[in-house]
Amino acid sequence: MQGTFLLLQIRNDQDPMRKHELECFANRLGVRESAIETWNLLHGPPPTDRISRAAAVLVGGSGDYSVVKGGPWLPAAIDAMQRLIDEGVPTFASCWGFQAMSLAIGGRVGNLPTRGHVGTYTLEATPAGRRDTLFGELGDTFTAQLGHEDVVTEVPDSATVLALSSHGDIQAWRIGALDIWGTQFHPELRMDDLALRLRTYPKYITDIRGMTWDEFAQAHLQPSPETDALLKAFAQLVL
């Protein structure tokens, strides 16, 4: 597989999950870590040359930052999302990236911990998702790894909803006919990866789930084989 990727992150420089996120994306894409450049959106938008030389852009999650709670970094980060859309740059956005791109296209995002998902969930493909070039291989239902309290509550008609949670929350979309997909879930994470991520950010278990780690791990973690190959399929499609 040829081509380089640009991973846009929104994590503190000292956050060990910055490196872990890179490792996970590389593993699921089936490339070496050296094939992925990174840029931290907390330091501003990526330079033009970083985007222009990337075959595709990835937008990752965030343990400490929220598009709802915002911060001085947010307007430039949303502008960067808008630029990717305006220029039709092949992009895959997960979790925080999904929420940020949803805002960029005129959607709505709310901080709704009671509707957040933490753990492994079974999601349902919409009719459009079952027909989609990328998502069609996932089947009618599939398992995925999630960890979020901000929820995309509405997207405009320019985004085709591809998957929903059991209580109807938007879990994936594609923007028009562009090679731009977004997921609330983490296709870059396997079960063990999510476990490490949640041990690093324990508030998701204590504040959202209200459980101890052992209770949570036994009841809410399982493999998600259907989504393991999603990013590799994205790369093959856009490259």
* Cα–Cα nearest to 175, from 73, 67, 74, 97: 97
Give the start-to-end residue ranges of the domains of the chain: 5-238
- pLDDT score, position 210: 77
- pLDDT score, position 18: 94
- pLDDT score, position 2: 57
pLDDT along the chain (239 residues), means of 10: 85 92 97 96 94 95 90 96 97 97 96 88 97 96 94 96 94 98 97 89 76 83 95 95
- Name the packing angle between helices 213-220 and 191-200 (round to 10°): 160
What pTM did the predictor assign? 0.94
In angstroms, the CA 147 to CA 96 distance is 10
* Cα–Cα nearest to 234, from 178, 164, 152: 178
In angstroms, the CA 44 to CA 113 distance is 28
Q: Which fold has domain 5-238?
A: Rossmann fold (3.40.50)
Judge contact between 201 and 110, C-beta under 8 A. no
- pLDDT score, position 63: 76
Rounded-to-10 torsion of CA 102, 239, 16, 146 = 50
- pLDDT score, position 219: 80
* Cα–Cα nearest to 60, from 113, 29, 23, 98: 98
- pLDDT score, position 170: 97
